[in-house]
Amino acid sequence: MKNEPSWDDLKLFLVCARTLSFRQAAQKLGLTSSTVVRRIGRLEAQLGVTLFDRLPNGVQLTREATKLVSSANQIEQGAFDFQRRIETFDPKKRGIVRIAVTEGLGAFWLMPRLIAFQRSNPMMVIDLQCVEQTADVARMEADVAIQFEMPASPNVLRQKLGALHIYPYASRRYIDIYGMPRNRNEMMDHRLVDQIGPQLDDGAWPRYLGLNDIEGIVGIRTNSSAAHFYAIERGAGIGGLPTYASALGADVLPVDIGIHHKVDIWMTYHPDAKKMPRVANTIDWLLGAFDQRKYPWFRSEFVHPNLFKELDQTEWRENVFGDGFASTGALREIS
């Protein structure tokens, strides 16, 4: 009699079925490709069927495997529901809340505020996952996700938190050396710091500058929001930053050349998430962290960064301006 497949191997099967790549499945699960191949081979032997046809550029589900995907999805959803229910039994039990968020919002905006929130909730462990790929909250990759793409799954709840306004910035040291461009045409004589990655509009700069590509003016390109921020602050060139960079106190100035890019900020979570008190508490805190009345840079309408200090700062001045690592002095000391 064949051994029954383990749930871990069924989860591995589902990831492989969704990615159609043993290599991508290994990366997603933090395994080696050889481990994935070995475990899928073991699962096929246990079930007595071939699950994947091995192709030069990936894998393909066999007819038998296609029939099993739906059942495996139901088992997965049942396991998730079971886990959520048992976590509601003891609200005083120490537990983890996983927040998936883009790197820039996570490192520069949420983390400085997260410290006080965790201190006021000592039985809670906050797992802040700063990743550019969207997290699937329906499959419990995170309890709550903050992302730029509107969630399309009907199995999750979504709420628009506001907007992120991206504006050209340059450091004072860059402007002292190369001057401030006055229009888009003068940008051709400057160096661009470019950021690429998931959830980012790679065609924004060419579109706004009226170019087929920007390779002739790019000086530095990175997929990291932190590296992108620091490159601009250190004078590597002009690059797009969220307008809250001005509120953080970084030594950068907005470059007014008629370019403004806007992306919506979405929060998404499973419908059962609010049944867990610690997750419900975190969701309420996240809503406050993006309160557009307190933080004008998250409003749907564009507010020029030069106007921030003219607005009513009573709600946010102490929590935003300060001596954190994103402030002018800290950035200089890091380098």
Nearest to 48 by CA among 32, 68, 73: 68
Phi, psi (rounded to 5 degrees) for 132: -85, -25
Mode of pairing for the β-strands spanning 157-171 and 144-147: unpaired
Question: What pLDDT sits at residue 334?
Answer: 35
CB 296 within 8 A of CB 225: no
Set out the domains of the chain in order of their start, with CATH numbers.
7-86 (1.10.10.10), 95-162+264-298 (3.40.190.10), 163-262 (3.40.190.290)
DSSP one-letter string for 243-271: THHHHTT-SEEE--SS--EEEEEEEEE-T
Nearest to 50 by CA among 62, 38, 68: 62
CA dihedral (320, 252, 258, 209) positive or negative: negative
* CA 63/CA 53 separation, integer angstroms: 10
CA dist list (Å): 39 to 54, 267, 332: 15, 35, 49
Say which DSSP state 101 is in: E
CA trace torsion 15, 20, 21, 25 (10° rounding): -10
Mean pLDDT by 10 residues, the chain (335 residues): 72 89 87 92 91 90 89 75 61 76 94 92 90 81 92 88 97 95 94 92 91 90 94 96 90 94 95 84 95 94 88 52 46 39
CA dist list (Å): 180 to 184, 209, 250: 11, 16, 18
